[in-house]
Amino acid sequence: MSRYLLILFFFLQAFSSFGQFLIKGKVTDAETGDPIPFAAVLLKGTSTGQNTDFEGFFEIETSVLVDSIQVSYLGYISQSKALSQTNEQVVNFQLRPADLELETFVFEAGENPAFEIIRQVVTRKNDFDKRQLEAYQTSNYTKIEIDIDHLSESFTNRRTVRKVTSVLDSIRQLTNDEGEKILPVFFSETLSKFYYRNNPVLKKEIVEKSKVTGVGITDGSTTSQITGSAFQEYNFYKNWLTIVEKEFISPIADGWKTFYDYDLMDSVLVGNDSCYLLKVIPRREQDLAFEGFIWINKNTYALKQVDLTIPKSANLNFIERIKIQQELVPTSAGPLIPSKTRVQVKIGQVTPKTAGLLAKFYTASDSIILGEPQPTAFFNNAVELKPDFGDASEEFWAANRVDPLSSEELSILQMVDTLKKIPIIRFYSEGLKFFATGFLPVGKIDIGPWTEFGNFNNVEGLRGGLGLRTNYKFSNKWAFQGYLAYGFVDERFKYSVSAKHILDRKRWTTLELKSSREIDQVGLEMESLEGNSIFLAASRFGTLRRPFLSTNQRLTFQREFFKGFLFSAGVNVAQFDPLFDFYYREKDSGDLKSRFETTEVRTGLRYGRDEIIIINDNERASFGPSRWPIFEVNYAKGLQWLGGDLDYHKLNFYLYQKLNMGLFGISRYEVDAGKVFGEVPYPILKNHLGNETLFYTTAAFNTMNFNEFASDQFVSLRYRHFFEGFLLNRIPLIKKLKWRAVANANVLFGSVSDQNIENVPGIDPAGNPIETLGRLDPNKPYVELGYGIENIFKFFRVDFIHRMTYLDVPEANPFVVKVSAQIIL
């Protein structure tokens, strides 16, 4: 009897198992290979199904097996696949993006029911905005991949490209039979700790481990600082999100109704939370706004997850799509922190014969800790690398990744490593770096900048030169740099040599000694342009205006005492040897002199509250401020008792800020003010920079002539506004061109004291007339107003600028047209 019961038991078990079917799989984007979260997976003809998770996986159990399974998601072409009659099977889907625009929904009676949901979300924003937390920290894993896509036939048939693809034929293609070929060029993984504190808002990321591989990447220390989570933050509780240097309006911004329509699609279960599913539709297709889906918790009205896209129709250049997917989790205090974020940026072909670019970012955060804020000094460096950040085995990464690398990602690593070794790739990648940075690395030495290799002007004639500098491989405490140049007409050598000792990298502290002898021009202030080698080279080309030979010996000390607060001090000994007709009247004797020496003691303060700074090898690099202005105050004292010919004081104040004006675009302003105390030759004064060229520049007064005015006390305001399509997007024919209106205003108040006017003689010792000093009326500002169009054919800008005052000055230009070329998104 027991034997029959045993047989019956196994029969019932088999029957039970036979009656349950398991279908699982993954849904990915056919073009990018990335997972598609939140897609609807349904057994065809039934109501049985589920949504994919953030990694694109699904798993359905059913007692009744139908003949096919279907996947659908907005923005993609739906797809069905046949099911086999087996108890367990894996069915993967690769969906192709659909060329569809979201529709605008019209509600004929009553208010759109989605509007009340959005009102509740906006009302409760402060309850869930992570910026309300006093302090928190997270453990983050970040993954970045950059691929070349849009591999057109004309591109792949190029001789240099064929050399690459022939080497890669042995590697499995990174696509499937429904996708497009891609060529990966960069892949990175980063494990880090992220810290945040409020009042004041301070952020810091400590990179614990980082692995970077990419074409042209020779040293991962700099790259590792910008591949962490600090640069991949997207908070939809902010009204505006900054992405690729543009401001995008959040779907739950305070002014949501101006920019968006919504449709209440469904009530769905996400995890254990019942949520409203809302479709987001921009009111105007060219606005910098999102389309897609947001999930709102029914009980709390908090964001649960988002899947939003900036469409190709938005007023952006080259970018075909920006897609952001995000899951949020509540903290114990209430505000939400993103647990997973995935971003795709797809850049189209500049021309039909070139390739496109696809950048993919993934960040996962866990181990969220709320507690007491770290001290302010802790945030001195926005990004910090652990000493052993680059030392980690494959076993370590396998054990510490949030998710294991897919087979596609493993193939990407193999392909990038192969690409790096191909000679033609190395040649082009090093060549591009050489052009962009100006230097060519050769072991522990960099050769350059290339802008010093050759030039031509009316003073030097043909000029040749060569420069060298040490790099991080030579030392992380000492940096040496120098160049030597020779003019074949003036038959003079020019040079610059410097030695810098880095005393403290954490609180950036340096001591630098520099000696130079170079051609300068009155009003250009080349000392402040040392970081821009291309502009310096251009300023030494052609006709030099009021040139002089400048000899300098300088000792400078710098230290960052706390985050954003940089102190500098030093001594500068300089000689001014004019190469044009210049004389000044000596204060004591009244004699006319043409050359002079100065000995200056200098000190300066710079403060950028939220300026992001990284350490690029042995230099500091700024990513600019996010919200708060940057202040600078500099003071110099000219001393006769230390060997100088002049005794004076110079005080200068500078302020810069970028303003997000919301719907109206972005503004930038600069305030520059200064005063010179004492009787000095006019090259010591502020010689306001004019622009007689055809090209527009923000560094000069564009209707002012070279050396037209100088001041010993002044204050100026430069204001630039970028409408970002606000005006022209509303004109039916113009908006298709994606032109953008710009405006600018420059205002200058200045004056020169009588003693400095008398210092400038009108004739030389032989009685010949010489150039004199142009002065401004202290009660009458110099004003120029401009307007223009940028983004013409995606590259060009035209400005129309009116000179509003000082029109009676000889050779004044009341109206000028300036052009410029730029690469903007």
The pLDDT, as a whole number, for residue 144 is 87
In a domain? residue 341: no
In a domain? residue 814: yes
Structural domain for 603, as ranges:
438-646
Instruction: Find the helix or strand (DSSP H, E) in which 454 lies.
Output: strand 454-457
Question: What is the tens place of the pLDDT at every residue in 232-278?
Answer: 678 999 998 888 778 888 999 998 988 899 999 888 888 788 999 99
Which pair of tokens denotes residue 407?
């087979």
- 526: Cα separation from own chain's centroid: 26
For residues 514 and 577, membership in a common domain is answered with yes
In a domain? residue 695: yes
The pLDDT, as a whole number, for residue 16 is 43
For residues 539 and 589, membership in a common domain is answered with yes
d(CA 206, CA 378): 11
In a domain? residue 106: no
For residues 593 and 459, membership in a common domain is answered with yes
Cβ atoms of 234 and 338 closer than 8 Å? yes
Which pair of tokens denotes residue 423?
């000679």
Q: 322, 299, 327, 311: which is closest to 236 by C-alpha?
A: 327
Cβ atoms of 448 and 465 closer than 8 Å? no
Q: Side chain identity at 101, as an amino acid letter?
A: E
Which pair of tokens denotes residue 680?
């000095």
Cβ atoms of 297 and 118 closer than 8 Å? no
- Does position 535 have pLDDT exceeding 70, yes or no? no
- Max mean pLDDT among 153-167, 230-244, 382-396, 558-572 falls in 558-572
- Does position 219 have pLDDT exceeding 60, yes or no? no
d(CA 706, CA 716): 17
d(CA 121, CA 301): 5
d(CA 323, CA 329): 20
In a domain? residue 698: yes
Composition of the chain by helix, strand, coil, percent to 5 = 15, 45, 40
In a domain? residue 123: no
pLDDT confidence tier of residue 352, bands split at 50, 70 and 90: low
**CB-side neighbour CA atoms (13 Å) of 645:** 17
Q: 150, 176, 145: which is closest to 161 by C-alpha?
A: 150
Q: Side chain identity at 419, as an amino acid letter?
A: L
According to DSSP, the residues that pair with 577 across neighbouring strands are 549
d(CA 121, CA 303): 8
- When divided into structural domains, the chain yields a total of 3
What's the Rg (C-alpha) of the chain? 32
Task: Tell me the CATH number at 32.
Answer: 2.60.40.1120
Per-residue burial over 430-454, b = 16 or more CB atoms within 10 Å of its CB, e = otherwise: eeebbeeebbbbeeeebbbbbbbbe
Instruction: Find the helix or strand (DSSP H, E) in which 430 lies.
Output: helix 423-437
d(CA 285, CA 288): 8
For residues 591 and 694, membership in a common domain is answered with no
Instruction: Find the helix or strand (DSSP H, E) in which 371 lies.
Output: none
Cβ atoms of 368 and 339 closer than 8 Å? no
For residues 632 and 689, membership in a common domain is answered with no
For residues 567 and 641, membership in a common domain is answered with yes
Question: What is the tens place of the pLDDT at every residue in 33-84?
Answer: 778 888 888 888 887 888 888 888 888 888 888 888 999 887 788 899 988 8
Which pair of tokens denotes residue 487?
């003019």
For residues 623 and 689, membership in a common domain is answered with no
Selected residue with higher pLDDT from 509 and 430: 509
The pLDDT, as a whole number, for residue 536 is 64
- Max mean pLDDT among 219-233, 348-362, 642-656 falls in 642-656
DSSP 451: G
In a domain? residue 804: yes
- DSSP H helices, 180-248, are 220-226
Selected residue with higher pLDDT from 784 and 321: 784
d(CA 491, CA 462): 10
For residues 596 and 472, membership in a common domain is answered with yes
Q: Compute φ and ψ for 473, nearest 5 degrees.
A: -70, -30
For residues 696 and 806, membership in a common domain is answered with yes
Cβ atoms of 281 and 104 closer than 8 Å? yes
For the segment 186-197, the average pLDDT, to the nearest whole number, is 89
In a domain? residue 568: yes
Rounded (10°) CA dihedral 667, 350, 243, 232 = -140
d(CA 671, CA 630): 11
Please, what is the angle between helix 423-437 and helix 407-421, to 10°?
80
For residues 723 and 628, membership in a common domain is answered with no
Rounded (10°) CA dihedral 472, 474, 480, 482 = -90
The pLDDT, as a whole number, for residue 642 is 85
For residues 695 and 610, membership in a common domain is answered with no
Longest dimension (CA), the chain: 135
Mean pLDDT of the chain: 83
For residues 631 and 667, membership in a common domain is answered with no
pLDDT confidence tier of residue 108, bands split at 50, 70 and 90: low
Cβ atoms of 257 and 282 closer than 8 Å? no
Question: What is the tens place of the pLDDT at every residue in 433-455?
Answer: 777 677 888 888 999 888 788 88
